[in-house]
Amino acid sequence: MNVISSIKPSALAVDSVSHAYGSRRVLHGVSLTVPQGQFTAVLGLNGAGKTTLLSLITRLFDTQSGTISVFGHRIDRAPGEALRRLGVVFQARTLDLDLSVMDNLLFHAALHGIGGGEARRRAETVLTDVDLLERRRDKARNLSGGQMRRVEIARALLHEPRLLVLDEPTVGLDIASKLTIVRHVRRLVRERGVGVLWTTHLLDEVEPDDNVLILHQGSALAHGVTAEVVAASGAETLRAAFAGMTESA
């Protein structure tokens, strides 16, 4: 059920992507558009295929079928051009726990060819944005789970991408940390025009004017503005629409 065709420029275009691990197919012709400057949520239960989809988008896996483009650059044909426009926050923690917060960011900056004073300036800016500049000399292992996640978001923004991809970023966080993360990412969309792809199994993280893809057992059941997806399903709430779609699929 596709209920929207966005008029905003496309930050990410996934077209008819399928993927299998051996004989087990986990994605079935999934298509998705992430408009620039909009929050897009991929909503699905555990095992729906969300992480596999993000692994293809970030090129951890090669695309087997279909195409994926970031700002018009296909990741299979121009991976460098595509990936430099992309910032990623993986579900698993990826900070080096024995390095300081600043050194984690400077190492990432160096990987993107950003060095010296420019790298430190950018690191201080993004740490200020996530309210962690005063922790820059602390080892990463001394941060809370929510603080680690905020550092990972800051790190993903160091090379100034226009598309931010986050895989279940609030898993394992307390309510206060979760709200801080969600609000910060939504502010990036609102104030900086960053396109965001956010995977989750938590319905309360999706708002009525978000762009949403409902993914279930590797298939896209609906894609569009949340309120319109709900209306098209005949349900009154996203929870009811999601339950109706996934239970009947």
> What stretches in the chain show pLDDT beneath 70?
1-8, 249
DSSP annotation string for 64-102: SEEEEEETTEETTT-HHHHHTTEEEE-SS--S-TTSBHH
Angle between helices 145-156 and 101-111 (to 10 degrees): 30
Which pLDDT belongs to residue 201? 94
H or E segment at 34? strand 24-35
Question: In the block, which residue shows the tokens 């650059």?
Answer: 73
For the chain, give every domain's residue range.
1-85+161-249, 96-160
DSSP annotation string for 210-221: SEEEEEETTEEE
pTM: 0.93
CATH 3.40.50.300 is the classification of domain 1-85+161-249 = yes
Collect all residues with Cβ–Cβ distance below 8 Å to 160 and sequence separation of at least 6: 122
Which pLDDT belongs to residue 8? 59
> Distance (Å, rounded) from C-alpha 222 to C-alpha 226?
9
Which pLDDT belongs to residue 248? 76
Tell me phi and psi for residue 115, to 5 degrees.
-135, 175
> Distance (Å, rounded) from C-alpha 175 to C-alpha 38?
24
Which pLDDT belongs to residue 157? 97
> Distance (Å, rounded) from C-alpha 131 to C-alpha 54?
27
